[in-house]
Structure 1
Amino acid sequence: MNEFLEGKIKAVYVRYLSAAFGSALITSIYSVVDMAMVGQYQGSDGTAALAVVAPIWNIIYSFGLLMGIGGSVLFSTVKGRKKSTAEIEDDYFTAAVIGSIILAIFSWVGLILFEQPLLQVFGASEALMPLAQQYLLPVKFVLPLFLFNQMLAAFLRNDGSPRLATTAILAGGVFNMFADYLFVFTLDLGIFGAGLATAIGSGISFLLLLTHFLTKKNTLIIRKPTNILKKLKEITVVGFSTFFVDVAMGIITILFNRQIMRYLGTDALSIYGVIVNISTFVQCCAYSVGQAAQPIISVNFGARQGNRIRETLKYALGSAGFFSLFWMVLSLAMPLLLIKVFMEPSQEIIRMAPTIIRSYSLSFIFLPFNIFATYYFQAVMKPKAAFVISITRGLVISGSLIFLLPTVFSPSSLWLVMPITELLTAIGGVLLMKRYTDQLPNQSGIKEAKKKEGLFSS
């Protein structure tokens, strides 16, 4: 933890950002490569089928982030306080592991027992249902691993092993890319092969993440926890906003799927499937900023190092701004290139796609900031602010506009739902971030504050 409290902020942040970016990017590649391969093999129906499956990934990953981010924020915050003990830190890790097991069992059983009804709710038609089920068949065997990978990667970053977390996710992602081509095209397994490659890739990542526990750097220990229910509640409260970001994406995807099929048809849904994957890349870039800054901010918040938090915030906002501009400009400039990566488009899709992608991509200018804001509020122990941002962005505004805009204006106004949502959320996020950042202690007041808290004596 000394590097968080004493190291040069820029160097530490850049190291953690590079690791987190690689990890987040490769996580998104699982679904992106699957959609690209399946779209090229089976056309727009394959792309639309994976758009139907997308909410399942959102739910599974969100459970992993709930336990991983919530537990690791508390783990790092208590480490930053001189009065913390290893037992307290380990209690949060143990509680996160127990919570992950419970959620994994719940998700696993739910998908096995209710696969078809769930896919119907997510927008599957009779034509898309068989394709979605073929993809999920191998995935169901290893479903808990996707959740555990998210949880363990978060703790490894907070335990000083960001590179191992990245290497593990990278190894699974690279395997997935090569195996996708082998299984889908060479072995002619189609959409089933894409699911098989994804399933095996998750297993590779999981095994590599476990090697952290064999290293000398490891401080994560599972022990009999005290007040397990209390700690699970604390983890849930702190991690809920990050959890809801992904859950909300799943909910919004379901609502979009249903509204698109109601007003615009399968071609529009296949284009939206591409947008979901582009948006996944943008979100993963935002996750990397939050995951890089969160351990530094959490530890320094526990140590009351306000100026170090402000410096970290400066670099994080700069990174978020770069990703915002990159993805918006790319989407505005080359919408058909993005479409052709994921499918062999028909003439109708070529006609429709540029307007749809350009309209939706206006949201990318605000999306990275809004996601980072939830990480920041969690790291400075303001879970209510993080909750307000995530629930407003993920459900209240976007959910209302999905139903309102096509009714009041036209079906094509669906593509403006997220730009309007992200803009309104960003305004609120800026105001809350300024308020809580202004409340952080100045460096000059640290010793006095620590004396009052009894954290050390001069």
Structure 2
Amino acid sequence: MKQQSQRLGTQPIPRLLANLSIPAMIGMFVMALYNVIDTLFIARGVGILGVSGVSIGFPVMMIMMAISAAVGIGGASVISRRLGENKADEADQVFGNIIFSILIVSLFGVIGAFTFLEPLLRTFGATDNIMPYAKDYLFPIMLGSIFFSFAFTTNSIIRSEGNSRFAMITMIIPAVLNIILDPIFIFGLDMGVQGASVATVISQATVSVVVLFYFLNGKSSLNLQLAALRPQWLVIKEVLTIGMPAFIRQVSGSAMMIAINLMLIKFGGEFEVGVFGIVQKLAMFTIMPMIGVLQGMQPIIGYNYGAKNYLRLKETVSLGLKVVTFISFGIFLLMMTFPEGLMMIFSGDTATIETGAQAIRIMFALAMLIGAQVVSGGLYQALGMARPALILSMARQVLFLIPLVLILPYFFGVIGVWLAFPISDLLAFVLSMVFLWKDKDLFFKSKSDTKKYEPATTS
């Protein structure tokens, strides 16, 4: 086993969490920056209808990412625990089955590009004015689904073995390439929204080649072998069971966007869909640092749980919760203080700025509660506890946000869509605290307690 994996059980927790989280945060920050700049170029180069088209098409892309997340994050949890148990051969078998799953998923993406793309977009709320932009953006991405699936999935695998720096690099490479290629394709080649999509596919293809060489050149703790590609259904079942919360979280994010777009079209119009497209990219930008912290925590938690080192697990949870709570308060202050300035980055239109600023202030009114929600579901996922991880992953978007989005606009109009966000944050936070309190003896136990602990929520 390589040193990058062994340090998960030996290095001091504050230093280890920093070493794993900071690269993840940087990588997520750059990826979020790319999403923001991508939207900026589309808003400035195509207009608010172009942003609306991307907003309508983005849920389809999120479904592709959801499947990759289920395979990648579920596989990362299994692999980190196998490495913690010193079962390197079994970790290699899991990795091979993950690659097999990626190939199958990608095939469906390509088939979908030629068969049901337009009916799907129509179902998701595309109007006649938005449809051309949505199709132009999504068609190349579905053709290149192999690159998205491979890059997205293997990033989680690389992080699971403790190589956070290379995981960061695999996020930075496509983001930087995309930022460079976007103006060339959108403005230079006058390809509009499709130019942004083509730039994204090229960027993901490039990083996929880099990652493939990483695994083939022996730099990983894992070995990629042809024999391991043979599907073992028990392995795939374990990966997908643990990865299901990540799948639910991503799919519920897609369902959330569909519900929001439909209600904005019903109670507002195409203009509001475009405004939400901008605000949603800003929201992704703000949550990325907390996801980076979680990604740094998960391999530490999974490895030490597998090694039965519960004191290190507890220390990781306590420190991680403090960090994400601090970040959450920073996000709250930023969004309450400078919403107009953030919107002015994307548009000089007064109506767009005013509508977007109002939406930001309402949506982020309880942003200080987001950090605990992000971490809680990820903790159970890292431990391989699918049931609580699934419930917490579904809570904010499926149990609370989507129903509120579908109900509140009938009473408050478009404002009801924005109000659904802080109410959902509050309810999801309370539920997260209930779960963490039930398993407080695992996550927050006394340092003098070194006995093995079986959490209450596994039953």
Fold shared, TM-score > 0.5 on shorter chain: yes
2:216–2:224 contact (8 Å) kept in structure 1: no
* Aligned residue number for residue 360 of structure 2: 357
Could you tell me how far apart the structure 2 residues matched to 1:140 and 1:344 are? Answer: 32
* Aligned residue number for residue 35 of structure 2: 31
Q: Flag the 1:367–1:70 CA change in 2: closer, same or farther, 3 A.
A: same
Deviation at 1:375, TM superposition (A): 1.1
Could you tell me how far apart the structure 1 residues matched to 2:272 and 2:346 are? Answer: 14
Instruction: Tell me the alpha carbon deviations over residues 132-185 of structure 1, each in whole angstroms, 9 at most, x when there is no partner.
Output: 222234323312211111111111112232211211221111111011122222
Correspondent of 1:186 among 188, 191, 194? 188
CA RMSD of aligned residues (A): 2.1
Corresponding position: 1:412 with 2:415: yes
Secondary structure at the residue paired with 1:74?
Answer: helix
Corresponding position: 1:77 with 2:81: yes
> Unpaired runs of 5+ in structure 2?
454-459
Deviation at 1:235, TM superposition (A): 0.8
Q: Flag the 1:336–1:164 CA change in 2: closer, same or farther, 3 A.
A: same
Deviation at 1:102, TM superposition (A): 1.8
Correspondent of 1:348 among 348, 351, 362? 351
Deviation at 1:301, TM superposition (A): 0.4
Q: How do 1:174-213 residues align onto structure 2 when only pairs under 5 Å count?
A: 174-213=176-215
2:8–2:162 contact (8 Å) kept in structure 1: no
* Aligned residue number for residue 134 of structure 2: 132
Q: Flag the 1:111–1:305 CA change in 2: closer, same or farther, 3 A.
A: same
2:92–2:223 contact (8 Å) kept in structure 1: yes
Could you tell me how far apart the structure 2 residues matched to 1:188 and 1:406 are? Answer: 38
Secondary structure at the residue paired with 1:439?
Answer: helix
Secondary structure at the residue paired with 2:289?
Answer: helix
Correspondent of 2:434 among 393, 414, 431? 431
1:271–1:353 contact (8 Å) kept in structure 2: yes
Could you tell me how far apart the structure 2 residues matched to 1:104 and 1:47 are? Answer: 26
Q: Which amino acid aligns with 2:10?
A: E
* Aligned residue number for residue 455 of structure 1: none
Instruction: Tell me the alpha carbon deviations over residues 56-114 of structure 1, each in whole angstroms, 9 at most, x when there is no partner.
Output: 23112222211111011111112212xx4222211211222222222222233223311
Secondary structure at the residue paired with 1:126?
Answer: coil
Instruction: Tell me the alpha carbon deviations over residues 283-309 of structure 1, each in whole angstroms, 9 at most, x when there is no partner.
Output: 322321211100000000011111111
* Aligned residue number for residue 287 of structure 1: 291
1:44–1:270 contact (8 Å) kept in structure 2: yes
Q: Which amino acid aligns with 1:406?
A: P
Instruction: Tell me the alpha carbon deviations over residues 165-220 of structure 1, each in whole angstroms, 9 at most, x when there is no partner.
Output: 21122111111101112222233322222112111111121112223214444222
Deviation at 1:439, TM superposition (A): 3.2
Could you tell me how far apart the structure 1 residues matched to 2:319 and 2:113 are? Answer: 41
* Aligned residue number for residue 454 of structure 1: none
Q: How do 1:211-290 residues align onto structure 2 when only pairs under 5 Å count?
A: 211-223=213-225, 224-225=227-228, 228-290=232-294
Instruction: Tell me the alpha carbon deviations over residues 359-386 of structure 1, each in whole angstroms, 9 at most, x when there is no partner.
Output: 0122532233212222111112321111
Deviation at 1:444, TM superposition (A): 5.6
Deviation at 1:344, TM superposition (A): 3.6
Corresponding position: 1:44 with 2:48: yes
Secondary structure at the residue paired with 2:116?
Answer: helix
* Aligned residue number for residue 400 of structure 2: 397
Q: Flag the 1:110–1:368 CA change in 2: closer, same or farther, 3 A.
A: farther
Deviation at 1:263, TM superposition (A): 0.2
Q: Which amino acid aligns with 2:287?
A: Q
2:321–2:371 contact (8 Å) kept in structure 1: no
2:20–2:162 contact (8 Å) kept in structure 1: no
Q: Which amino acid aligns with 1:136?
A: L
Identity over aligned residues, as a percent? 24
TM-score, normalised with respect to structure 2: 0.92
Deviation at 1:227, TM superposition (A): 7.6
Could you tell me how far apart the structure 1 residues matched to 2:190 and 2:355 are? Answer: 31
Secondary structure at the residue paired with 1:312?
Answer: helix
Q: Flag the 1:118–1:364 CA change in 2: closer, same or farther, 3 A.
A: farther
Secondary structure at the residue paired with 1:366?
Answer: helix
* Aligned residue number for residue 387 of structure 2: 384
* Aligned residue number for residue 422 of structure 1: 425
* Aligned residue number for residue 115 of structure 1: 117
* Aligned residue number for residue 456 of structure 1: none
Secondary structure at the residue paired with 1:342?
Answer: coil
Q: Which amino acid aligns with 1:161?
A: N
Correspondent of 1:371 among 350, 369, 374? 374
1:360–1:418 contact (8 Å) kept in structure 2: yes
* Aligned residue number for residue 341 of structure 2: 337
> Unpaired runs of 5+ in structure 1?
451-458
* Aligned residue number for residue 457 of structure 2: none
Could you tell me how far apart the structure 2 residues matched to 1:42 and 1:268 are? Answer: 16
Could you tell me how far apart the structure 1 residues matched to 2:170 and 2:224 are? Answer: 21
Could you tell me how far apart the structure 2 residues matched to 1:340 and 1:16 are? Answer: 34
Q: Which moved more, 1:312-321 or 1:133-142?
A: 133-142
1:168–1:204 contact (8 Å) kept in structure 2: no
Could you tell me how far apart the structure 2 residues matched to 1:113 and 1:33 are? Answer: 31
* Aligned residue number for residue 144 of structure 2: 142
